[in-house]
Amino acid sequence: MDSKRRVALITGASSGLGAEFARQLAARGFELILVARRRELLEKLTASLPVRARVMVADLSDRVARAEVRRCIEEEPDLELLVNNAGFGTRRRFWEADLAGQQAMHEVHVMATVELTHAALAGMVPRGRGGVINVASVASFARSASNVSYCATKGWMKDFTEGLVVELSAMGTPVRVQALCPGFTYTEFHDVLGVDRTKVAASWLWLQAAEVVRESLEGLAGGKAIVVPGWHYRLFTALFPRLPFGVRVWLQKRSPHTRDRL
């Protein structure tokens, strides 16, 4: 076996941030396992990459499909990076939105992250190398109407990552975990959601996927546990959670983002 092999498994690799992770990790010499539901897009991406890349079609809201991805992680002795990136948003107030969609979001954001991270760390920690990036969101620092499950599940991803940081650093292992918390980023996310980007936020607030991924990978190399790309989002996440809850509710009630998505 080639001892220099470094393998990364990326969920939600068929578009947006996941596809960008694939391109930037390929440029760093990683062999890739790309997971999502749309086979055609995954195959097109693998064909364009200068490294060996394998496609795994899986719907991560499905327990059986997640078990297959978990098995793939357990059987990969050179897995060096897991990127839990698959995700999506929904619209409408929590009780008015389709329950199946809310459940699927919890399965993809929470259960897939639990199960795949468990499998990955069980191999990485004994090997003494590797890392996990959990793609959360700036939404993990806030709560907004029509976005209740999204903020809650992304908040969980950040809290979960922070817990792992404590456990891993207490052990003194070099294995690293990171919660990547992007703000509005140009990907397919808002197309899937069916919202007009120009109504969601001013253009200066939007990030490019390439810069988000670059900051995440550089942050991981530097041992940064929480990465918030963009100075404006760093300012927001530093200040907003410090406000009293009543003030946060008052501010979020008035946000155009909240109004337009209801």
Ligand X SMILES: NC(=O)c1ccc[n+]([C@@H]2O[C@H](COP(=O)([O-])OP(=O)(O)OC[C@H]3O[C@@H](n4cnc5c(N)ncnc54)[C@H](OP(=O)(O)O)[C@@H]3O)[C@@H](O)[C@H]2O)c1
Which are the catalytic amino acids?
150
The distance in angstroms from the start CA to the end CA of the chain is: 54
Q: CB–CB of 58/69 below 8 Å?
A: yes
Which range in 43-51, 72-80, 117-125, 177-185 contacts ligand X by CB under 6 A?
A: 177-185
- The whole-angstrom separation of Cα 231 and Cα 207 is 11
94 binds ligand X (CB under 6 A): no
Phi and psi at 6, nearest 5°, equal -130, 120
Q: How far is the CB of 65 from ligand X (least distance, A)?
A: 8
14 binds ligand X (CB under 6 A): yes
Count, residues in the chain:
262
Q: CB–CB of 227/138 below 8 Å?
A: no
Q: Which of residues 46-75 bind ligand X (CB under 6 A)?
A: 59-61
- The whole-angstrom separation of Cα 147 and Cα 258 is 8
Q: CB–CB of 181/151 below 8 Å?
A: no
The residue within the footprint of ligand X, chosen from 6, 8, 18, 178 (CB under 6 A), is: 18
Q: CB–CB of 44/66 below 8 Å?
A: no
The residue within the footprint of ligand X, chosen from 16, 123, 219, 230 (CB under 6 A), is: 16
216 binds ligand X (CB under 6 A): no
Q: How far is the CB of 137 from ligand X (least distance, A)?
A: 4
Which range in 47-55, 163-171, 181-189, 253-261 contacts ligand X by CB under 6 A?
A: 181-189
Beta-carbon neighbour count of residue 138 at 10 Å? 22
The residue within the footprint of ligand X, chosen from 144, 187, 216, 237 (CB under 6 A), is: 187
Which range in 73-81, 122-130, 141-149, 187-195 contacts ligand X by CB under 6 A?
A: 187-195
Q: 86-113 burial by CB neighbour count: b if 16+ within 10 A, else e?
A: bbbbbbeeeeebeeeebebbebbbbebb
15 binds ligand X (CB under 6 A): yes
Match 């990127």 to its residue by tokens. 83
130 binds ligand X (CB under 6 A): no
142 binds ligand X (CB under 6 A): no
Q: CB–CB of 226/158 below 8 Å?
A: yes
- The whole-angstrom separation of Cα 144 and Cα 250 is 11
17 binds ligand X (CB under 6 A): yes
88 binds ligand X (CB under 6 A): yes
Which range in 35-43, 75-83, 123-131, 163-171 contacts ligand X by CB under 6 A?
A: 35-43
Residues that bind ligand X (CB under 6 A): 11-18, 36-38, 59-61, 85-88, 108, 135, 137, 182, 184-185, 187-189, 192
